[in-house]
Amino acid sequence: MELLKILRECNKNNQCTQHELAENCHFTLGKTNNLVNNLLEKGLLKNAENGFGVTEAGQNLLEEHRVDNAIILAAGFGSRFVPVTYETPKGLVEVFGERMIERQIKQLLEAGITDITVVVGYKKEKFEYLIDKYGVKLVYNEEYDTKNNLATVYHVRHLLKNTYILTSDNYFTKNLYNKYEFEAWYCAVKSEGYTPEWCLQIDDNNRIVDVEIGGTDMWHMYGSVFFSQDFSDTLVPLLEKAYHTPGTEDDYWEHVFMNNLESFEMYINPQGPNVVYEFESLEELREFDTSYRENSKSETMSLLSFIFNIKEDEIKNIKPIKVGMTNNSFRFSISEKQYVCRIPGQGTENLIHRNEEYESIQAVQPLRITENIVYIDPKTGIKISEYETGSRSADEQNEIELRKSMNLLRELHTSGIVVPHHFDIKQQILFYEDLCKTHKAVLFEDFSEVREKMNDLLSVLEKMDLPSVFCHIDAHVDNILVLPDGKLKLIDWEYSAMCDPVIDLSMFALYSNYNQEQLENIINYYFENGPTDEERLRIYMYISLSGFLWSMWAQYKQALGVKFGDYTLKMYRYAKNYYKKSMELMGERKYESTK
């Protein structure tokens, strides 16, 4: 391999001196001199003016080790780079005016690697232009948001040969790629002190003999990888086995390598300081590319800068705290004070009336039961609030916190607050049903039959004299904060409106996936003297109707490309089960319907 590395360098530049060859190959000058003489004797090199030329025999030998292709992994979200990645995939972020993925593509092309595949997922459409600009191919990984890069590499396993594996968000100050490679390698950097990275133990020949997560003063995985054909042939069956093994959803492909080290021959490609960069956060990028201190090219950051009248680099300690079903949120600090910024999620502009949310937040402020709102835009829904230090979400299994939660809802319901908008579950069902049909959402097989059953319940509700008070509508443990002193706060008022108060109990049970016994507990906590038969019936009917409603909500979101796992199944099952319970409870009361 050492002979081949000298041969490769001479092929790239036939005017290299032995000093330059030694530096480029990380060999001593004495070793380099011996290797050059050996190649000359074998007829693989020839003396040239100011250097050494590769003979035809040497060229033929190099061709046996030609790199076949490169695969760039670009499917992930990049959660540690929020809020920039809410708008732009991390690989498309610019460093010194050049997108990181484009820099790597150009480096590959310069090295003669033209067969380049980019595996995309999150905001896949953003990468499409690369096909025309650089002639790359795109492969879509639909599991990008539910599995780690083991799945990403699995989906392109048929392309693994003599293959470079790159990560789209790496930045290299020099080109590490070559037309020819001779052994499988992993780019590695040596840490100074402790590092939490994947650390590598190597033998005297730089072969990786052990991998451990975290270490001190050690070489660690950092940057690109090269799979030789032998490495790929060994990896693929092990990769397939791991992919189909339950519990590997969060695994990296490197887990397969680490767990089967005895089967692989891989070496480190050692790099010195200031060559390989993996930016873990916007703050790290600011240190490298100082233009980001003033302008991060993010609308969200620009807005925060404007609201607080500060420079962008004063916004620090940015961390994602929630990737919810409706919104994305992140935490940040300014002058040691912490805040939370909420960014409305995809498709919510069709689902939520932000002006109504604004009215609700303004109305509830006198109760002092919600977070301290710093800013809210009634058009876009972007909201900034003070972060409640030491707070946590309520525990849905903690009786004390559940009792407090029900007391909090009762306080809201009896507050006398009136807002001009109402939550009409019948109209909401019609609205989401239309959205599902318009966007060709995949509905359940027996949807029409269940829809008729929902009409039965709506007909019963219409004949009741229903109370109308200010309700949260989205009350569940994730929206109830427990403060260090034990007090509770109710947050996220997107759906709040005037409605029948028992709907908040139904929603609470639904969101918490409660069984009948757990539902009975919160009913008893809320109703100090127990519910009437009609109140219990309304709770059951709202669970059924809301389950049906939220199943359509998720089906619409899925039609937009957002995944919800088994959420739709659970909600739809609540609709069916509590329709039956409602019918049973009505029994001989003979509520009229429009059957």
Q: What is the pLDDT of residues 211-256, one digit of tens each?
A: 999 999 999 999 899 999 999 999 999 999 999 999 999 999 999 9
CA dihedral 37, 41, 46, 50 (to 10 degrees): 20
Percent of the chain scoring above 90 in pLDDT: 71
Q: For 292-387, which CATH superfamily applies?
A: Phosphorylase Kinase; domain 1 (3.30.200.20)
Question: Rounded to the nearest 5°, which phi and psi values hold at 126?
Answer: -65, -20
Instruction: Output the pLDDT for position 350.
Output: 64
- pLDDT, one tens digit per residue, over 247-281 is 999 999 999 999 999 999 999 999 989 999 999 88
Calpha distance 327→491 (Å, rounded): 13
Q: Three-state SS for 286?
A: helix
* Token reading at 277: 């960069």
Average pLDDT, the chain: 91
* Token reading at 268: 């480190």
- Closest to 46 (Cα-Cα) out of 92, 78, 7, 19: 7
Calpha distance 75→123 (Å, rounded): 8
Find out if CATH 3.40.50.2300 is the number for domain 392-589.
no
Q: If you classify domain 69-278 with CATH, what class do you get?
A: alpha beta
Calpha distance 454→580 (Å, rounded): 11
- pLDDT, one tens digit per residue, over 534-580 is 999 999 999 999 999 999 988 888 887 777 778 899 999 999 999 99
Quote the longest CA-to-CA distance of the chain. Answer: 105
* Token reading at 295: 């302008």
Alpha helices in 309-440 (DSSP H): 354-364, 399-413, 425-438
Instruction: Output the pLDDT for position 325.
Output: 53
pLDDT beyond 80 at 509? yes
Instruction: Output the pLDDT for position 595.
Output: 41
Instruction: Output the pLDDT for position 566.
Output: 86
Q: Where are the domains of the chain?
A: 2-63, 69-278, 292-387, 392-589
**Do residues 32 and 12 make contact, with C-beta atoms less than 8 angstroms apart?**
no
* Token reading at 174: 């020099």
Instruction: Output the pLDDT for position 592.
Output: 47
pLDDT beyond 80 at 347? no
Mean pLDDT for 86-93 is 92
Q: Angle at CA 300, nearest 5°, toward 298 and 301?
A: 70
Tell me the CATH number for domain 2-63: 1.10.10.10
**Do residues 567 and 554 make contact, with C-beta atoms less than 8 angstroms apart?**
yes
Instruction: Output the pLDDT for position 105.
Output: 97
* Token reading at 443: 């509905």
Instruction: Output the pLDDT for position 324.
Output: 54
Least confident of 6-15, 96-105, 482-491: 6-15
Mean pLDDT for 180-200 is 93
Calpha distance 349→556 (Å, rounded): 13
pTM of the model: 0.79
106 falls in which pLDDT band (50, 70, 90)? very high
112 falls in which pLDDT band (50, 70, 90)? very high
Within 10 Å of residue 198's Cβ, how many Cβ atoms? 21
Instruction: Output the pLDDT for position 6.
Output: 81
Instruction: Output the pLDDT for position 36.
Output: 76
